[in-house]
Structure 1
Amino acid sequence: MKIIHALEEYHEADTQVVLAAGSFDGIHIGHSAVIGKAMEQAKAIGGEAWVFTFDPHPAKVLRPDRAPPLIFTTDQQCLYLQQLGVDGCILQPFTLDFMKQEPLDFFDHLCTCIPRLAGISVGEDWTFGRNRAGNAEMLTGLCAERGMWFSAHPEVKWKDERVSSTRIREAIKLGHLKEATEMLGRPVSTIGKVEHGEKIGRKLGYPTANIDPENEMLPPRGIYAARLRVGKTIYNAAAYIGHRETFHQNEPQVLEVHLIDASDLDLYDQHVEVSYIEYIRGDEVFENAEALKVQIQADIEAIRKVLN
């Protein structure tokens, strides 16, 4: 998948493009529907399907003190767009100057930068331009004037309510992973780099990979049945989010992962992704290391049953 970091960097002058536009944090089932429409139309005309989105997320610029924690990092967003089969992604910088563009100016600039823009797909509630004055109704007319295909996808619902990134964030915050997974269309996940830790797990007989999370949003503290992706390889795992209060006081929260039935892997400095499959139990403080070791064994047996 091609990735560019501004509209002005697009130079595919001979290719027909159908664009899916939106913020797409988490790429949930509603986002996938909008992107899927663009991919269907691109295939029908022999063109390419591209995504137009923002980096940083508009909320980080418009209300930085109240911006929500994001479900995805930019790298995750690009990874999952690639997995969907998108041909390219435009990560448009969202700035105060960009925000001040009138809707018509933005649309004209879009068409200038992508000379063979053949269609646009958005969610029916998408807005753009100064004061959010542009909307799907306006785009319907603008695209018709240029003979372009246009789709405003109706809201996608789950349990009779609109699927949204806000709703998914709330589910993750509350630890309702099954709900979040169904709205996302995939498990909640965290990416990060494996770092050297204190090797407490190794001393207990259960070595762990200590991961420095890049995501702003993690599930609540506790033990999870999980899967760890390293490159294209996936391992069954036990994940721990917490403060290791059995051994420390006032320690920052950590994310540790123990690979089940896989040992002697050197994961240091590798970029990995942890997918949370099911919540097992909450974070607890144990009397001593031996009591914790007994509980870890029970946790691993429970996790094996979930993952198998």
Structure 2
Amino acid sequence: MKKSYSTLVNKKDIQSIAIGGFDGMHIAHQKLFENLDENGAIVTIESGFSNLTPKSFRQEYTNLPVYYYVLDNIKHLEGKEFIRLIKEEFPNLKKIVVGFDFCFGKNRKYCVEDLKELFQGEVVVVDEIKNNGTAIHSRYIRDFIKNGNIKKANEFLGKNYKIVGSQVKGQGLGKSDFVPTINLQVENFLLPNEGVYITKTKIKNDIYNSVTFIGHRVSTDGTYAIETHILQGDIETTYNNVEVAFLDKIRDNKKFDDFKDLKAQILLDIKEAKEFFN
């Protein structure tokens, strides 16, 4: 269950804000948030490209209220107009926290120095945060995920990357011919590249060790699927929200000409996942 503080906090009480896209709510973002006061808040600019923590999923990773502004509604504003809007929204604002590369306003032509000049209050600029010499940026994390490098993505995120989906009807082959799976339809989240992953699956409030397949069913009907198998046994569920957190990748997607070979590989994947958790 995601926390939702934004509607519970009076904006007049907010004295400091962090502004940015904050897709991923990763380690570098958390460093920004550390500069906020007790009466702080997070202002997220929604560009439409957020797919690591889309929409209100960001609220799950902070105890501060998160407010969302659609970029298309504000990108025409000049610098003074943008600051005026922020001051109208948060009348007692005393501090703004941004990253070193923050830009705003029409054509993104206003940046950190302009912010310091236009805002009559404290401006905190957080330097670039690195992990073993590599800058932590959402775009790098997306690349890791798209390439199946889940361990590196998690390292930069500071948590396990996860997707959330709703259960849908599958082929029906899992329980009858292979192993039972929960089939998911996932929207808005960036999906790892095709393959088999060691995962944890959360259903309601219970978390299970699992193996998850993402990709085209090249050995059966060729359709794209997201299927997660619970290692502890067959779990009957019809819950809309099923969360799958990725821990590591076992292998790429592969075509098998014989169902026996496919089932043997699935059992090997399960064995490897069990050894990982043990």
1:77 aligns with 2:58: yes
| 1:81-230 correspondence to structure 2 within 5 Å | 84-86=62-64, 88-95=65-72, 98-143=74-119, 145=120, 148-230=121-203
Q: Deviations over 1:97-121 (max 9, x none)?
A: 5211111111112112211213111
RMSD across aligned positions (CA): 2.0
Deviation by residue 1:237-294 (Cα, 9 ceiling, x = unmatched) = 0000121222124x2x21100011143x332242111111111112122233222222
Letter in 2 for 1:85: N
Q: Does 1:53 align with 2:30?
A: no
User: Could you tell me how far 1:91 is from its partner in structure 2?
Assistant: 0.9
Distance 1:51 1:69 in 2: 16
> In 2 relative to 1, CA 233–11 (structure 1 residues): closer, same or farther, beyond 3 Å?
closer
- Checking the alignment, whether the CA contact within 8 Å between 1:191 and 1:215 is kept in structure 2 is no
* CA shift digits 1:168-204 (9 cap, x unpaired): 1111122222211111111222111111112211113
Cα distance between partner residues in 1 of 2:229 and 2:158: 25
Instruction: Check if 1:257 corresponds to 2:228.
Output: yes
Which one has the bigger helix percentage?
A: 1
Counterparts of 1:127 and 1:69, CA distance in 2: 17
What code does the residue aligned with 2:103 have? Answer: T
Is the contact between residue 203 and residue 239 of structure 2 (CA under 8 Å) also seen in structure 1?
A: no
Sequence identity percentage: 26
CA shift in 2, pair 1:154/1:257, >3 Å: same
Measured in 2, the distance between the counterparts of 1:277 and 1:299 equals 14
1:128-165 CA distance string (max 9 Å, x none) = 1112232222222344x3xx332110010123232111
The answer as to whether partners of 1:12 and 1:114 remain within 8 angstroms in 2 is: no
Q: TM-score, normalised by structure 2?
A: 0.91
Can you give the 5+ residue segments of structure 1 that lack an aligned partner in the other structure? 5-9, 61-67
Asked if residue 295 in structure 1 is aligned to residue 265 in structure 2, the reply is: yes
Q: How many residues align?
A: 275
* Structure 1 counterpart SS, 2:275: helix
**CA spacing shift, 1:36–1:11, aligned 2, 3 Å:** closer
**From 268, 271, 277, the counterpart of 2:241:** 271
Deviates more, 1:133-142 or 1:28-37: 133-142
Unaligned runs of 5+ in 2: none
Pair 11,190 (structure 1): closer, same or farther in 2 beyond 3 Å: closer
